[in-house]
Chains A and B, each alone.
Chain A
Amino acid sequence: SQQGEEDPQALSIQEGENATMNCSYKTSINNLQWYRQNSGRGLVHLILIRSNEREKHSGRLRVTLDTSKKSSSLLITASRAADTASYFCATASSGGSNYKLTFGKGTLLTVNP
């Protein structure tokens, strides 16, 4: 699998439910970031978690990071129809090239009203 690979590829839930998306990566990282992309639009930065952090919250978002398993999860609580979008994780590797974000293919989240 490629660096920053999301799972599942697609997720469909009802409004009010929670949505969990996972991301796996291969190499050592400096940080991991989650982005949202609405259809045909640009990326919106959601949250950044550093390699020495285990959990981070921002509003209805909760991100965890397990560096021993090289994995991260994004939890969106009490989902809304407006959360419908593709969600990407991006890793910044440790070392000199940590500006080079590596993205997965994303999880397409559909929240049905």
Chain B
Amino acid sequence: NAGVMQNPRHLVRRRGQEARLRCSPMKGHSHVYWYRQLPEEGLKFMVYLQKENIIDESGMPKERFSAEFPKEGPSILRIQQVVRGDSAAYFCASSPRGSRGATDTQYFGPGTRLTVL
């Protein structure tokens, strides 16, 4: 059973470009979470999605950031018009049932390291 897959592992963009980060959850998992880790910091929650639904996007910046988890295919975190401050590691996690009302471990992918030049 493959773990959570993320690609690309490293992404370099120039200021003003778009960044697309992909996450394929573990087999059988239908709940996806995105976190961001700035240098020397812990992870910060961004968004929680189920298939075709955004459950909680309270950690997402109001502008330029969006996320989706379509019925088919991976979850996508999209950052438009990137700025240097977006440089960070972006981690995706998945769980089987979703942790609302349950205690489900979140399994993390290897992350995508975004560098904005």
Q: Are A103 and B43 in contact (CB under 8 A)?
A: yes
Interface centre among B33, B42, B105, B107 (most CB of A within 10 A): B42
Q: Are A42 and B109 in contact (CB under 8 A)?
A: yes
**A-facing residues in B61-114 (Cβ within 8 Å):** 91, 95, 98-101, 103-111, 113
Q: Are A88 and B105 in contact (CB under 8 A)?
A: no
Q: A-facing mask of B35-61, CB < 8 A → 1, else 0?
A: 100001111110010000001101100
- Complex Cα gap A13–B49 (Å): 41
Q: Are B45 and A48 in contact (CB under 8 A)?
A: no
Interface of A is mostly: strand
Q: How far is the CB of A65 from chain B (nearest CB, A)?
A: 13
Q: Are A103 and B44 in contact (CB under 8 A)?
A: yes
**B-facing residues in A39-96 (Cβ within 8 Å):** 40-45, 48, 50, 88, 90, 92, 96
Q: How far is the CB of A58 from chain B (nearest CB, A)?
A: 12
Q: Are B105 and A33 in contact (CB under 8 A)?
A: yes
> Count of A residues near B, CB < 8 Å?
27
| A112 is an interface residue with CB less than 8 A from chain B | no
Q: Are A100 and B45 in contact (CB under 8 A)?
A: yes
- A105-B41, A106-B42 given; A96·B100 CB < 8 A: yes
- Complex Cα gap A31–B95 (Å): 15
Interface centre among A98, A101, A104, A105 (most CB of B within 10 A): A101
Q: How far is the CB of B88 from chain A (nearest CB, A)?
A: 13
Q: Would you give 26 A-B contacts (Cβ < 8 Å), ordered by A?
A: A4-B42, A30-B103, A31-B103, A33-B105, A35-B108, A42-B108, A43-B91, A45-B106, A45-B107, A48-B103, A88-B42, A92-B99, A92-B103, A97-B56, A98-B99, A99-B33, A99-B48, A99-B55, A99-B98, A99-B100, A101-B106, A102-B45, A103-B35, A103-B43, A103-B44, A105-B41
